[in-house]
Structures are given as structure tokens and as C-alpha cells.
Amino acid sequence: MRQAERYRLIVERFAREMPEPKTELSYSNPFELLTAVILSAQCTDKRINAVTPALFAAFPDAATMAAAGVEHILEYIKSVSYPNNKAKALKGMASKLVEDFGGEVPADMDSLLSLPGVGRKTANVILSVVFDRPAMAVDTHVFRVAERLGLTTGSRTPEATERKLTAMIPAEVLGRAHHWLILHGRYVCKAHTPMCGGCFLADLCRHHEKEHGKAQVRGQSL
């Protein structure tokens, strides 16, 4: 199957099965989403959603978080991964927002990347979810699922995967595609135990084709 055809069919299938995918992080404004995404690095959305209500109540905006001490912020996020580093990042992010952006989350990549704790993945999430820009945030789920489906081949970095997906997926669905790939990786195409038998993309999947072929060969050799 040609790659362009693979992309077209997979996008159509996702659009049918998951017409309105959304982030599973709980938030009510851009600052809260930015905070939650920074916290979510190497941590589950479920864990982040457990700590953010109290965190957001204590620090409802960048100004209040910027005015707080790192130890005060740390009290609210002790149960997440790498809490000390993340507390420092949140303090730095909030301070930068107040000092350079009037307390508001900026809407361009370069400005977002200037914020402590914000890398390209986080910036792309904000651009896509908050500002409805055609951006593709690549996390471990997106990286893995794209490779297994055959949307990428031998991609070595998240940036390479981002470039490929951005080039091949229509801009008008790119934001949804980010959520499609994350949710599919989280609940179906899991890292160690992919649920191929119940996957609506199995007939289009390069990984499933390879594994199915191996299974046939093993069966014939017994």
C-alpha cells in the first residue's frame, strides 16, 4: 500500500471511530492547561487530574503562582513524577508569563519555548488545543503508534515524526490526529500488550501485518 493511501484510510477510519477526540487533562483556561501539560511529563493524566484542582484553587493565574515560593507549589504536586523539578518549572513558567507576556499564555512557538518547563511537545499541545493551530505534539504514544501503523518508518526522533505527520496529515484534522494517536496508544496500541484483536485499524496496520505473518509461519512450522 502506498503511504499516501495508508494515511488517507487511517485518517478516515479515525474520523469515523473518534469524531471528537479531546485531551483527558482537566482545565478551564490556557494557563491551567499549560500547567497541567508541564506536570504530565512522564506521568498519567489521571494522576495530574487528581492534583490540579487544589493546585488551581491555590494558584488560579500566573501572577499568584509567580508570587509563590517553590516549596509552596511543591506541597500541591508531591505525588506527581519529578515534583521538585516540576515545582521549579512552574514557578519559572509563571514568572516568565508575568514578566514578558502580561500573565497570558503566548500564541506562538518561539514565545512558548522561552518558558521554563516548556519543550516542543508542550508548545504544540498549547498551539493545537488552545489556539486551534495545525500542530502535532509527539509524545511516546504518538511516536509508537505512528511507527506501528506505518505512518512513519524508522523515525529516530519526535521531531522527525512531527515533520512527517505534519506533512502528510491534512492541516484541518491535524489537531484531532494528535488526540487520535495518543488515545489509541493509551488504550489500544499499548507499548507492551497491543490489543490488535480489537483494533479497528488492524487491517491497515504494518505492525499487525508483520505479527500476523510471523504467527502464520510459526503455525505452519509446528
To the query of whether residue 139 is one of the catalytic residues in this protein, the response is yes
Catalytic site residue from 86, 91, 139, 164:
139
Nearest to 40 by CA among 19, 26, 30, 54: 26
Ramachandran class of 36: left when φ > 0, alpha when ψ lies in -120 to 50, beta otherwise:
alpha
To the query of whether residue 121 is one of the catalytic residues in this protein, the response is yes
Q: List b or e across 187-201, with b for residues whose CB sees 16 or more CB atoms inside 10 angstroms.
A: ebbeeeebebeebeb
CA angle in degrees (0–180, nearest 5) for 107-110-116: 95
Catalytic site residue from 121, 203, 210, 214:
121
Which positions are catalytic? 121, 139
